[in-house]
Amino acid sequence: MRMGVDYYPEHWDRSMWEDDARLMRDTGISLIRVAEFAWSRLEPTEGQYDFAWLDDAISIFANHGIQVVIGTPSCTPPNWLVEKHPDVLPIDALLHPKHSGVRGHRCYNSPSMRQYTAKIVERMAAHYADHPAVIGWQTDNEFGLHECHCDHCNVRFREWLKDKYGSVEAINEAWGTVVWSGEYSSWSQITTPLGGTKHQNPSFVLDYTRFETDSVVEFQQLQIDILRKLCPNHFVTHNIWSYPMPLDYYKLCENLDFASLDYYPSTDPEKADSNGYSGALTLDLTRGVKRRNFWIMETISGPPGCWFPMWRTPHPGFIRAFGWQSIARGADTLVHFRWRSAPTGAEQFWHGLIDHSNVPGRRFEEYRQLCGEVEKLAPLLDGTEVQGEVAILHSHEQYSAFRIQPQVEGMDYFDNLKSIHRAFTKLGIMTDVLDEAADLSGYKLIIAPSLFLLDPELVSRLEEYVRNGATLILTPRTGVKNRNNVCWIQPLPGPLSEAAGVTVAEYDPIGKDTHTLRWKDGKTYSCSQWCDILEPQGADALAWYEDDFYAGQPAVTGHAVGQGNVYYVGTVPEEAFYLDFFRDIAEQLDLVRFSGLPEGVQHAVRTKGTSRYLFLLNLTRKQQTVPLDRVCQSLLDGQSIGPSLNMAPYAVEIVELSR
Amino acid sequence: MRMGVDYYPEHWDRSMWEDDARLMRDTGISLIRVAEFAWSRLEPTEGQYDFAWLDDAISIFANHGIQVVIGTPSCTPPNWLVEKHPDVLPIDALLHPKHSGVRGHRCYNSPSMRQYTAKIVERMAAHYADHPAVIGWQTDNEFGLHECHCDHCNVRFREWLKDKYGSVEAINEAWGTVVWSGEYSSWSQITTPLGGTKHQNPSFVLDYTRFETDSVVEFQQLQIDILRKLCPNHFVTHNIWSYPMPLDYYKLCENLDFASLDYYPSTDPEKADSNGYSGALTLDLTRGVKRRNFWIMETISGPPGCWFPMWRTPHPGFIRAFGWQSIARGADTLVHFRWRSAPTGAEQFWHGLIDHSNVPGRRFEEYRQLCGEVEKLAPLLDGTEVQGEVAILHSHEQYSAFRIQPQVEGMDYFDNLKSIHRAFTKLGIMTDVLDEAADLSGYKLIIAPSLFLLDPELVSRLEEYVRNGATLILTPRTGVKNRNNVCWIQPLPGPLSEAAGVTVAEYDPIGKDTHTLRWKDGKTYSCSQWCDILEPQGADALAWYEDDFYAGQPAVTGHAVGQGNVYYVGTVPEEAFYLDFFRDIAEQLDLVRFSGLPEGVQHAVRTKGTSRYLFLLNLTRKQQTVPLDRVCQSLLDGQSIGPSLNMAPYAVEIVELSR
Amino acid sequence: MRMGVDYYPEHWDRSMWEDDARLMRDTGISLIRVAEFAWSRLEPTEGQYDFAWLDDAISIFANHGIQVVIGTPSCTPPNWLVEKHPDVLPIDALLHPKHSGVRGHRCYNSPSMRQYTAKIVERMAAHYADHPAVIGWQTDNEFGLHECHCDHCNVRFREWLKDKYGSVEAINEAWGTVVWSGEYSSWSQITTPLGGTKHQNPSFVLDYTRFETDSVVEFQQLQIDILRKLCPNHFVTHNIWSYPMPLDYYKLCENLDFASLDYYPSTDPEKADSNGYSGALTLDLTRGVKRRNFWIMETISGPPGCWFPMWRTPHPGFIRAFGWQSIARGADTLVHFRWRSAPTGAEQFWHGLIDHSNVPGRRFEEYRQLCGEVEKLAPLLDGTEVQGEVAILHSHEQYSAFRIQPQVEGMDYFDNLKSIHRAFTKLGIMTDVLDEAADLSGYKLIIAPSLFLLDPELVSRLEEYVRNGATLILTPRTGVKNRNNVCWIQPLPGPLSEAAGVTVAEYDPIGKDTHTLRWKDGKTYSCSQWCDILEPQGADALAWYEDDFYAGQPAVTGHAVGQGNVYYVGTVPEEAFYLDFFRDIAEQLDLVRFSGLPEGVQHAVRTKGTSRYLFLLNLTRKQQTVPLDRVCQSLLDGQSIGPSLNMAPYAVEIVELSR
């Protein structure tokens, strides 16, 4: 467990390197990430490599005990490469190239791009394979999907389809292209989705999205292969930008050692009560990508800003608290972005720990405190992990399918996932957020929000978990389509109807309208977005609608299956419903829970063997009181705290749990 | 009078056809529309026609007594055609093609498009000319204007201008191109309005809009000619998409047997009090296109949705009530879209009568009831027609001219037309909504909203109607321009000033600001958008402004001309004004009126000879009471109703009027 | 001092010219501007010049004593030129040409455009050099920046950069292109900022903006050179469109005789209390461009409207009052746009003094009154000038730099300048608004809002003014960057820290959030946008924040330097703060001030020798009372007015000040 910063030696006069290294060491920094945008310095013209400057920089930092992660520079092909091989530029749906000058101007399928990327990565890997200060690699930077419609992508897309389907007839069948006379009679008629319209065949677009992910994965694998071969002792990771994203991070990270995250919680005071919860989901998602601890490769050090207006400056305590939140939820290393704000370029106002003034200030002092605390607790926390009893399923494909065909105004796959996760976080229940394809054995409770696309294999697995004792919760728009984005011709929730013991007689896409739900105990809740009118086929009705022509009809059902239970929640209720519903289930299943968390205060537990470390984080601008229910010793300052714990704004406490 | 559905045999496994046909017959369906998007199945590759599958389908349905309307598939040229002749694709103002994959990807002026369209229509017409189950044709699908700037369109546009003007000098003169040095010195300098800017010469843009309509009309005429020649016993129609549209439907339908409409009233509960009124206008407009009864070729069967989020599901009674509304206002056949929701393609969630589940549900049962009722009343209603005493003038050209040069914020030609029509509908007065070019002899009252473009011929006709006894109502922005979209150099309302007996001394485009109007009886009303300050030249002032520097100046005038009267309303008043003003005029003119309609309840009357059938439609979600003022027998269920009629939400009553 | 109108003989039948001229003369008009869009009439086809029609027109007007300003027609290259040399069209960042049909379709760097422009200007200049009625020229029309990315512009941009930097290495260094591997290794890699993204290197984009200004300046200079040579007795001016603009008007007007302004104050009643203040700034800016009196070349005569919806009609008195406001702040000639509304073209509804009806109405009568008054007072006012004791600095470059990188939501360089200027106007203090590069000797008070880009030369000058006794006020975001748009590596306000005696310890971009400021006397004010947390280094704290973690920290400081003072206002306060703060300073500095102006009433003073003329303008729709504090004689009507002066809506008073 350690602290690092993102550092760009090429942005600064060499005369500053030594001072920077010394101040880092004195602050408690033992790691820098470098070079991920430095192609034009590492290969100033074709074939002329210049690593001397980076060697010098690394050696200065190494002399101060600072280790190095190197980023491959494939996010920013240099101007000479663009000039010589314009096909490295991605082409949008209207056939406009994305020009250089910004970053990310590279087509993942461009042969030139791949060839020159391989060359520079090989050179860098060979050069730094045995450098004692270099410990690992970051591939590229913040991979994302950006549509490319160049000739190479069109050729590759057709090859990808040939591999998947074999014939145009099979594509016509799978996608239902007969609608609107879209049938292909030859391969040459198939193109990427040109024109930028949203009205394309959804099966086609979903496959194109998969192709895009596969293009990124291939582009990265080229680099991984080189790094594995030449630097067998180094780790390889990638810095995930954000969620939600159609890019499938599970595939992207499959061959990496661990995932890394670029984490920028909002500093907006109006979001001060909510950003901690979305952050918790982001961290849990990242831990779930590889089902293991991860790194923070970038995180907030000051107000971000550049082509968009600046955010508020982080409130005192904010940087430290969100640093500890990251660790609490599974980060083993924090690398802050960035050491010092850049004086040039488009990100001038994406502030570092130190301002342009080069005078360390309030934020730097707070960061220094965090470094000291991490150093102090590292021996305890090293090797600890986070483990939940509850799994929430997540899927980049479901997200893409919803994006391709929004179901109703206000219904957002990821927002609904967020609401569910937030309810568990508020209840003090740790969750693992996992790919829908993950093995879920051992989880007591599985939440599967909106399994829009459903295949028999996933159905079988879920049914088996339930038969073996798991509780499964389903929500609306489950089982609508198969993996080709084609509707099942059977009552909803489609192939999961049997397990759910219920069918959907009819639905009303109520969108932003609000209806009311009545639980069997008489308590009512509002709901919105969607109303499935349920017809129990063996399940018990648990809640009913109060409005509209379906007043009195079931809205939520429960169904005992084998050792387990399947709940179907046919609408999107307000948070109060989730809190009550999940609390009840938690009690039934005897889930571990930290009770009594005030709004905005989060807990988390990291464990190793019998050691259990409790983190309490006040991620708000308010003073808060937490019922710790006992007196503990703070691991941070050794003070006794509790039984009632007063937490200042952005306060953090860490204690060892005896139980 | 009959019921039908839109059916796509090519979307379903053949094994389902027989069951579908049987259920249709049992439900009371006697008609299907087919094939309008099936080009890729009817001609899978160039010149290879395959009608066998359609023959099989039609024969199955024919065996169940179901007749067939065939759509020509020219809305969706297949991929092989696009690949071989890319010039079929329309090109936008920035020269980007509209790609295939969606529908409507065809340039109306493309020689390839016309040639291949002619071929497939000829083949289909020849093949089905004598089929006993086939009764008629729909051309293409929902024609609309989509700008095309391809070379063919540029050539054709220049030819069109040569035909109209003869010389570039004449164009320069007619359009006033001297402004901003836009004068043409050769034909080759004239292009379609490239670049997509809204700042072009308005005379040029209006002529381009006319050219666009003529292009559609020509494209359709090619098909009509073939169908008339090969299928002399079949009718030919087209399904109009919606209003408002710059495409001139009067020209489009000139050579068709009757017009058809695709009618999708909004299911939004917030629009539940207004959607019936816009619907009434849509239906009256469609009846006016050919001045005769029409078909509904598509109408709502469930929540629409596809690339846009889904609407609310139709409330119980909604489908039936809006079906009856269509008939009440002149529809002779209702074809519901669609039999069953498509499992594939971009319109997956544009719901049919039956859901993807293939289990007929609530909406289907309601539709079945409607089928039974229509079957029962058909003998009475066959041959009945709708006839009003009031004509409201409408013009696609005026709409285009306003679109090209919006006059003031909030002023919308069609919205203002809608307000006027709604007032009459609320007053229980049936109106005919007719092309401004229509013969209006016999109408007691003519409303001519915003005759922005005015030519002497129209002025003469209107003056003659008035002299012969008609009452004419004019509104602001009348007589501003000639047909070249060039301003008249004379006081407003231009050539109609004499008939109106008034001139506009000055105007104030008040937009969204609100002013007050005082009627001669002292009652006040708010007004907005526009204030013409009137100077009576023989007319009597009837209302005056209360605000601003023109407080006390006339806002409304009346002028006796021959046997008739001309009113000039110089502003856009609130609905209360229209209700009082039109009610007064109705009393003066002794117009037939159904008094006492509550908000949202509509009446309509269909007549044949001395038979008169009254329809009462509660198009709201509320219980309503209608003063029927006598006891009648419901034609639907034979019950006695009245004198005060309680109507449940979406209730419908039909009675024969004795008088 | 005289009155004129914009007149387009080519828009009207020749038979109307004589009547128009006579009415103009009778109204008091002695000047027309002509021909600035008439290229297609002056050179109908290449090389065929036709000035006969213009000669005829000018001679008719000259016969009525009306003089003529001719516009060069380079804003509207005719169709034959576009057809023969398509490279005259500008090309946008996505490589779409801006087509003809509208105006401004010309690339400033196109060799064809320059060559043909030179030819027509030479011909016109030669033809009219000795015409007795012609007195001067307007270049082109409302120059603006429109990005062009054609090959010529790319070539010229590279040449421009070579001139400025000499080598690509120097560019890399100056712009910091190393960020994101943007380093150039050859000139051929440098292009204009293609693709339209906002994420480009800000140093690059700022230089491109400068290049754009220089392109306009060069394009104009070509014309100026011809006009100076052939018409040595004529003046040359240009009509400035508006502020704010990235185009550097100071450079544009450098070689002109005087600046002209197209002035269209908003007629929106909701802006009736504010449009006079923005107008005052616009006029002061224009007077500052050449630091001398100017012309109004176009101004409001009726409701504007064309591709945008029409505005409200000018309220009675509006045209006259804003005409007098223009004169009060330095206009020596008013040319109203336009004589009569155009019947054709895109600007049909940009209303002239006379409507399409050709019947002079209310607005014309008001204009006639204005003409009479100007004629009466001209002898007194000729040669008078406006002189302030306060200079407000303005910079098109600062505006561009803020536009390239918006600092925080709601922070707008020009809006903040406007707030400051408005406070002075409300306080009755005349200000000069000058280029930051101007010589400011003699000003008692200098306000320098947000000197974002700062160079040592400007710093030295400002420091010297202060040492010599001036008071200088600085605001947030001062001294952030050097002229390359690269951040200074030193505490803010950068090179001005020493003079300000303060540094910025940290800042909080609060954007639309609101904080509170407490002045040393205890009075509090709200502030927003930005909070600099100040650390006095010799300065005295004058106000402190009341909120957030920096409550109690200084927000405003004052620092005595030599004979003068430097104030640093670290936030953007509400107007009440500026009013109090500037009033205090005005008292300390004994600035001339007209006290007691009600909201919306403005004063101005023009002087010549010892003569001082006071203008009082009620630019609102309300009756207002002004404390004139003595009895004066109105120069307009000779009546005695005061000591308390009642002013009707849009009333104007002019008196000679005895003091």
| Contact: B199, C307; criterion CB under 8 Å | yes
Q: Report the share of chain A in percent with pLDDT over 90.
A: 96
Domain co-membership, A403 together with A282: no
Catalytic residue flag (residue C36): no
Cα separation, A171 vs A166, in Å, equals 8
Q: Is residue B156 part of a domain?
A: no
Domain co-membership, C376 together with C513: no
Q: Report the share of chain C in percent with pLDDT over 70.
A: 100
Q: With bands split at pLDDT 50, 70 and 90, how would you rate the model's confidence at A297?
A: very high
Catalytic residue, from C36, C43, C212, C298: name it: C298
Query: Which CATH number goes with the domain that contains A369?
Result: 3.20.20.80
A108 has a pLDDT exceeding 70: yes
The least confident of A181-190, A271-280, B578-587 is A271-280
B659 has a pLDDT exceeding 60: no
**Final residue in a domain of this structure, among A339, A355, A381:** A381
C478 has a pLDDT exceeding 70: yes
Q: Is residue A186 part of a domain?
A: no
| Contact: C197, A101; criterion CB under 8 Å | yes
C305 has a pLDDT exceeding 60: yes
**What is the pairing mode between strands A524-536 and A502-519?**
antiparallel
Residue indicated by tokens 């400033």: C108
**B76 CA to chain A: closest CA distance, Å?**
6
Helix (H, G, I), strand (E, B) or coil at C604: strand
Q: Which of A159, A232, A170 is nearest to A203 (CA)?
A: A170
Q: How large is the average pLDDT for residues A455-470? A: 98
For A387, other C-beta atoms within 10 Å of its C-beta total 13
Q: With bands split at pLDDT 50, 70 and 90, how would you rate the model's confidence at C102?
A: confident
Provide the domain limits for residue A605.
601-657
How would you class B165 by CB atoms within 10 Å of its CB: exposed for 0-12, middle for 13-18, buried for 19 or more? middle
Domain co-membership, C405 together with C494: yes
- Is B201 an interface residue toward C (CB < 8 Å)? yes
C437 has a pLDDT exceeding 60: yes
Query: Which CATH number goes with the domain that contains A649?
Result: 2.60.40.1180
Q: With bands split at pLDDT 50, 70 and 90, how would you rate the model's confidence at B642?
A: confident
Describe chain C by its helix, strand, coil percentages, rounded to 5. 35, 25, 40
What single-letter amino acid sits at B582? F
Per-residue model confidence as pLDDT tens digits over A520-555: 999 999 999 999 999 999 999 999 999 999 999 999
First-to-last C-alpha distance (Å) of chain B? 25
Q: How large is the average pLDDT for residues A459-482? A: 98
B374-412 burial: b if 16+ Cβ within 10 Å, else e: beebeebbeebebebbbbbbbbbbbbbbbbbbbbbbbbb
Q: Is residue B136 part of a domain?
A: no
Q: Is residue A245 part of a domain?
A: yes
Catalytic residue flag (residue A385): no
B101 has a pLDDT exceeding 90: no
Q: With bands split at pLDDT 50, 70 and 90, how would you rate the model's confidence at A659?
A: low
| Contact: A309, C194; criterion CB under 8 Å | no
Q: Which of A50, A47, A67 is nearest to A58 (CA)?
A: A67
Q: How large is the average pLDDT for residues C591-601? A: 97
Total of domains in chain C:
3
Q: Which residues numbered 1-20 in C keep a CB inside 8 Å of some CB on B?
A: 8, 10-11
- Is A191 an interface residue toward B (CB < 8 Å)? yes
Domain co-membership, B573 together with B619: no
- Paired with B569 in beta bridges are B556
Which of left, alpha, beta for A428 (phi over 0: left; psi -120 to 50: alpha)?
left
Domain co-membership, A18 together with A116: yes
Per-residue model confidence as pLDDT tens digits over A29-49: 999 999 999 999 999 999 999
Cα separation, C602 vs C580, in Å, equals 18
Residues of B in contact with A185 (CB under 8 A): 40, 44-45, 78-80
Describe chain B by its helix, strand, coil percentages, rounded to 5. 35, 25, 40
A101 has a pLDDT exceeding 90: no
| Contact: B76, A182; criterion CB under 8 Å | yes
| Contact: A312, C193; criterion CB under 8 Å | no
**Final residue in a domain of this structure, among A535, A556, A589:** A589
Domain co-membership, C350 together with C399: no
B293 token code pair: 């009864």
Cα separation, B182 vs B193, in Å, equals 13
Q: With bands split at pLDDT 50, 70 and 90, how would you rate the model's confidence at A86?
A: very high
What pLDDT sits at residue A573? 98
Instruction: Output the CA–CA distances (angstroms, integers) from residue C309 to A182, A211, B409, B508, C304, in the order listed.
Output: 42, 47, 6, 12, 8
- Is C409 an interface residue toward A (CB < 8 Å)? yes
What pLDDT sits at residue C480? 98
Residues of A in contact with C509 (CB under 8 A): 303, 305, 309-313
Residue indicated by tokens 């290197």: C201
Domain co-membership, A304 together with A405: no
What pLDDT sits at residue C244? 95
| Contact: A101, C509; criterion CB under 8 Å | no
Q: Which residues numbered 528-547 in C keep a CB inside 8 Å of some CB on A?
A: none
The least confident of A94-103, B185-194, B458-467, C19-28 is A94-103
- Is A93 an interface residue toward C (CB < 8 Å)? no
What pLDDT sits at residue B476? 98
- Is B467 an interface residue toward C (CB < 8 Å)? no
Provide CB contacts within 8 A for C127, sequence distance 6+.
C51
**What is the pairing mode between strands A134-138 and A67-71?**
parallel
Instruction: Return mean pLDDT, chain C.
Output: 97
Domain co-membership, A362 together with A416: no
- Beta strands (DSSP E) in A48-100 are 67-71
- Tell me if the bond preceding C78 is cis, omega within 30° of 0: no
Q: Does the interface ipTM go beyond 0.90?
A: yes
Sign of the Cα pseudo-torsion (C16, C18, C23, C29, in order): positive
Per-residue model confidence as pLDDT tens digits over B233-287: 999 999 999 999 999 999 999 999 999 999 999 999 998 878 999 999 999 999 9
A644 and A627 Cβ atoms separated by less than 8 Å: yes
Q: Is residue C156 part of a domain?
A: no
- Paired with C602 in beta bridges are C617
- Is A26 an interface residue toward C (CB < 8 Å)? no
Query: Which CATH number goes with the domain that contains B426?
Result: 3.40.50.880
C347 token code pair: 């600007």
A73 and A127 Cβ atoms separated by less than 8 Å: no
Cα separation, C478 vs C449, in Å, equals 8
No. of helices (H) and no. of strands (E), chain A: 17, 25
Q: Which residues numbered 473-512 in B keep a CB inside 8 Å of some CB on A?
A: none
Q: Which of B427, A344, A128 is nearest to C183 (CA)?
A: A344
What pLDDT sits at residue C623? 97
Instruction: Output the CA–CA distances (angstroms, integers) from residue A304 to A268, C180, C406, in the order listed.
Output: 11, 17, 12
Domain co-membership, B526 together with B638: no
Q: Which residues numbered 268-287 in B keep a CB inside 8 Å of some CB on A?
A: 269
A264 and A300 Cβ atoms separated by less than 8 Å: yes
Partner-chain residue, chosen from B194, B487, B505, that has the shortest CB–CB distance to C99: B194
Q: How large is the average pLDDT for residues A174-182? A: 97
Q: Is residue B475 part of a domain?
A: yes
Provide CB contacts within 8 A for B455, sequence distance 6+.
B482, B483, B495
What pLDDT sits at residue C199? 84
What pLDDT sits at residue B554? 98
C422 token code pair: 């408005």
Q: How large is the average pLDDT for residues A265-282? A: 93
Domain co-membership, C265 together with C136: yes
Q: How large is the average pLDDT for residues B292-307? A: 96
What pLDDT sits at residue C659? 52
* Ordered alpha helix ranges (H), A129-255: 151-165, 168-175, 202-230, 249-252
Domain co-membership, C407 together with C467: yes
Q: Is residue C615 part of a domain?
A: yes
Domain co-membership, C584 together with C605: no
Cα separation, B51 vs B9, in Å, equals 12
Helix (H, G, I), strand (E, B) or coil at C540: strand
C375 secondary structure, DSSP code: H
What pLDDT sits at residue B307? 81
Q: Which of A117, A115, A111, A113 is nearest to A139 (CA)?
A: A117
Q: Is residue A266 part of a domain?
A: yes
**Final residue in a domain of this structure, among B565, B589, B613:** B589
User: Within 13 Å and on the Cβ side, how many CA atoms surround A171?
Assistant: 28
A/B interface, count of CB pairs below 8 Å: 162
Per-residue model confidence as pLDDT tens digits over A122-162: 999 999 999 999 999 999 999 998 889 999 999 999 999 99
C452 has a pLDDT exceeding 60: yes
Per-residue model confidence as pLDDT tens digits over B581-609: 999 999 999 999 999 999 999 999 999 99
Q: Which of C133, C142, C1, C3 is nearest to C70 (CA)?
A: C133
A198 has a pLDDT exceeding 80: no
Q: How large is the average pLDDT for residues B329-342? A: 98
What pLDDT sits at residue A398? 98
